[in-house]
Structure 1
Amino acid sequence: MGVRLRFTLLYGVLFLISGAGLLAITAAFSVSRTTHVAPPGTGQPPAEQIARLQEELASASAAHTRQLLAGALVGLAVMLLISLVLGRAAAGRVLRPLRRITAATRRITADNLHSRLAVAGPADEVKALADTIDDLLGRLEESFAAQRRFVADASHELRTPLATVRAAIDVAEAKPAPPAEVVRLAGRVRTELDQLERLLEGLLVLARAQHGALDGRTPLAVRSLIPAGVPVEGADFVTVGNPVLLARMVSNVVDNARRHNDPGGWMRVTLRDGTLVVENDGPVLDPGQVATLGQPFRRLGADRTGSGTGLGLAIASAVASAHGGSLGLRARPGGGLRVEIRLP
């Protein structure tokens, strides 16, 4: 039996019950009070007796009409309340499968895409919806698995040619008395290889944070994630997550504050109530451009390019989001940047 047919039968039964109840209440009012007409007195002229009977019949008819109207109004009010109660109960029963589907769907995240709704019951619209969601979850699981395989394969396949080029440079430099041009070229190539390896590592970490399952979750003190030698203010707190990714997130934010600081400027790291705040000194920044720094390869001007990859804050934002938190960026009025990471 489909949902449409069940709704049709349910509404039909409710209307039938309401109509029957209304008729019963009205009938009860109509028979509860019966107006008796007194017999005509003797000795009165027939014309007066007829006039008197007509008046009494009109009065009885008006009273009966008022009685029926009052009964109908009372019955309507009572049946309205009963209909609301029955309708609420019926709607709750009909929508119960949808509430179960909604609750089960909300419990499914990127970490447990293997879960399914597996709704049992007749082949109606509700089960068709649940089966469609299960099919969608299956396709999402396959897509996430393919992305994880790509990250793992790329980590190996892209590092192999880089290692080969680096080995070739080492061999060229290891020859007896290599030409100065070879040494100079080898140094430039090695510098570019280091930059390329940092970029590759950043891209792989970003892909893992955005599309990979966060395995190895463990409780961590946030203060322990901050690089050694960095002064920290405020009270420490504990979060649950992947230690490697969380440490990378914190180090990226701290390194960004160090790299883009004024000479002799200051940097401050503060912990409070599930929030890590990193602030640094520097030039006044455009708030509109600062809001885009959490995206890959976004930088502010040529003075912020340096030797970075443009992925540090993007990785930090992705890691925070993967752990159920957020990363906020704000330009300080006096110059510099304020990075605020909220963690559950």
Structure 2
Amino acid sequence: MTTPIRLGIVGLGAMGRHLLAEALDHPDFTVTHAVDLAPATVAALQDEHPAVQFSTSIADVISAADVDAVYLATPPATHAALVVPALEAGQAVFCEKPLAVSADDAAAMLKAAEGKAAGVNFSLSDRQSTRYVEQAIADGRVGDVLGVEIRLAFPVWPRGFQAEATWVGERAQGGFVREVFSHFAYLTDRLVGPLRAVHTELEHRTPASETAAYGLMKAGEIPVQLSGLVGAAGPESYEWELRGTRQSYRLTGWRDLFVAEDNEWRPVELTGELGSEGTRLTLFAQAVRGEHPRDLADFAAGERVRSVVEAFHH
């Protein structure tokens, strides 16, 4: 029987608590430590999960001898200061996106990750929809890829489940381009090729993060467009659309995939595991044990995404 990986979690906001719940039931992991700077959060979770050691001391996880791997769910500007010492101490790292905000931080993280088990939690990295379109391109069913369009709309920002994370609504580290577009930038990078910014623009109606984003990028010579709005009436919407000469694909709401070969969009019936934090934890465990799962985004992919995302902020 394989010995469970001793996992420490740093950051117990919405994502940290979600992954904690997944990891507690995951056969590859034993959650031994979890850290947050908010004493009330730590106290409440300690009561719920007495077998886990909760604290407000980051040193209980980062570089700790009794922690094999770290999941990091803290604001992106803090990532390098936590990831680098963890990797240098021999711990594996599963980091929330975006990888970093600054190029210097990202470079330090990439250097520390050389030859180490390190991944970035892009939610589309192991989705069945991602693999389906990837295979359709490889098989030639799509034909030539003509372009990609990404459309995002939010009634409010930050979204309700992120309301406690004030940094998500601030310009320095937050905004929907970093928090949401980064997932679709990863998807495009993986399926079509690395992105370079041609023209990017953000609008701000308040001192907070962006209220609109417009961008033209290219993957090679393939145009990739982003349009995003905050304050739009109606439900949140997330659409990624790839247009080909033979087939086109549309991904909506993160997991609903449609295909068009003529004048009609038809749903694609996906089978098997759709992809989740639980399945990405399995991939991370494989990386910790020396494998190289292709559906776990690595730091190099994280840096390519960071680079095009930050082009909107300069």
TM range, normalised to the smaller chain? under 0.3
TM-score, normalising length from structure 1? Answer: 0.23
Higher helix share: 1
* More RCO (CA 8 Å, sep 6+): 2
TM-score of the superposed pair, with normalisation by structure 2: 0.24
Higher strand share: 2
Q: Which structure would you say has the larger Rg?
A: 1
